[in-house]
Amino acid sequence: MARSTRGSARKPAAADRPRLFRTQNDLPAATRAEVCELLNKRLADCIDLQTQCKQAHWNVKGPSFIALHKLFDKINEEVEDYVDLIAERVIQLGGVAEGTARVVASRSVLTDYPLTAVTGMDHVAGLADALSQFGRVIRMAIEETDELGDKDAADICTEVSRGIDQWLWFVEAHRQGETITVAAAAKDE
């Protein structure tokens, strides 16, 4: 009788790793494999971002509660669409979308969401950080997938990037009450 590994910290052996399935997609198998690996990394980040949106949505408090509660939920819905776009491209290329909670936790490059966030501004700051970080890595994926020769994956990453930048603008607008000089903005970077 096979023993369950559920709950164990066992890492999958190389033989357990998903392989590339046959497809009539005309991209070379090596390209498809590299793109799938890259997109699975960004998939982990995107799923992490989605959970951070929900964390903000559930826990926001204060005078801007209803506006932020609804905004964070709308962002979550859009990010869920981005998750599907990325995962489905992996599948189209013959790969396996790797999006379990454990895979996401081990692969995401996003910083942990601040579980101590309470006020609207706490959550605005936390979600702005997450959106910004994901925006950076998805923009890098545009270049990387383009260099690998998968223009469709680059286009998907571009679509996701445009959406993320818009949501970052919507979130940051809640904390942008004054203007600063270009020199001061550059200093913050």
- pLDDT tens, 168-177? 999 999 988 7
Does residue 187 form part of some domain?
no
Does residue 2 form part of some domain?
no
Does residue 63 form part of some domain?
yes
Considering its fold, how many domains does the chain have in total? 1
Does residue 180 form part of some domain?
no
Q: What is the pLDDT of residues 92-117, one digit of tens each?
A: 999 999 999 999 999 999 999 999 99
Does residue 182 form part of some domain?
no
Question: How many whole angstroms separate alpha carbon 138 and alpha carbon 164?
Answer: 9
Residue 112 belongs to domain with CATH number: 1.20.1260.10
State how far Cα 187 lies from the chain centre.
27
Does residue 19 form part of some domain?
no
Domain, as residue range, for 32: 26-174
Q: Which stretches of the chain score pLDDT less than 70?
A: 1-18, 178-189
pLDDT above 90 covers a percentage of the chain that reads 82
Does residue 105 form part of some domain?
yes
Does residue 124 form part of some domain?
yes
Name 131's Cβ contacts closer than 8 Å, sequence gap at least 6: 49, 75, 164, 167, 168, 171
